[in-house]
């Protein structure tokens, strides 16, 4: 299954919005929401007609992409998952109304946390909650996701920076 439409927003000629400060280090995450109206989480992951993807930091969030898919039945078409997971490149999570066991396994393999929310949950509220979590200190799953996505200095480089004395 291929995309029907995909919109990527570009800010000032760069593909990523300005870094958002969280202490001395800029921390942002990409999060997707299964949504047909781009305002509510109103879709099952496997049958999602579209995703909206935001980059979220402690101080602000920006819409980066909107992907729209053709309509498919939820059962009997496993091929639909590959295109949907590919649309979530670099996302740490996807919020949806429901998600099947096969999709959960595939999402986790790609480092994407599926999160189920009640029907018609407002995306704006989830964005504010994630911002607050980044300010206060991320939950266990979000902290692991940030660590996986952050480049870490080699431990020997860190030891060298500390200095060596005999």
Q: Where residue 63 sits, what CATH number does that domain have? A: 3.30.420.130
* pLDDT band (50, 70, 90) for residue 48: very high
Report the C-alpha gap between 83 and 80 in whole angstroms.
6
Predicted model pTM: 0.77
Encoded tokens for 160: 């060298």
Domains contained in the chain, number: 1
Nearest Cα to Cα of residue 9 among 83, 61, 84:
61
CB contact at 8 A, 90 and 71: no
| Chain mean pLDDT for the chain | 82
More confident residue, 160 or 34: 34
pLDDT of residue 149: 77
CB contact at 8 A, 116 and 97: yes
List residues bridging with 28 in a β-sheet.
Answer: 57
Q: What is the mean pLDDT of residues 51-62?
A: 96
* pLDDT band (50, 70, 90) for residue 50: very high
pLDDT of residue 21: 39
Encoded tokens for 91: 């996302």
pLDDT of 22 higher than 60:
no
CB contact at 8 A, 119 and 42: yes
* Domain encompassing residue 22: 3-162
Nearest Cα to Cα of residue 55 among 130, 154, 115, 141:
130
CB contact at 8 A, 48 and 67: no
pLDDT of residue 20: 38
* pLDDT band (50, 70, 90) for residue 80: confident
């Amino acid at each position: 299954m291929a995309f029907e439409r995909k919109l990527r927003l570009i800010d000032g000629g760069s593909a990523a919005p300005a870094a958002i400060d969280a202490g001395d280090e800029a921390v942002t995450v990409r999060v997707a929401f299964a949504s047909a109206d781009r305002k509510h989480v109103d879709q099952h992951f496997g049958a999602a007609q579209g995703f909206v993807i935001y980059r979220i930091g402690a101080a602000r969030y920006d819409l980066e992409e909107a992907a729209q898919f053709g309509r498919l039945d939820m059962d009997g078409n496993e091929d639909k998952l590959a295109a949907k997971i590919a649309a979530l490149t670099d996302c740490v999570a996807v919020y949806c109304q429901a998600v099947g066991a096969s999709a959960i396994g595939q999402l986790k393999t790609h480092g994407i946390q599926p999160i189920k929310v009640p029907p018609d949950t407002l995306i704006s509220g989830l964005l504010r909650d994630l911002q607050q979590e980044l300010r206060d200190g991320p939950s266990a799953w979000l902290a692991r996701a940030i660590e996986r996505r952050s480049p870490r200095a080699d431990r020997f480089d860190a030891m060298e920076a500390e200095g060596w004395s005999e």
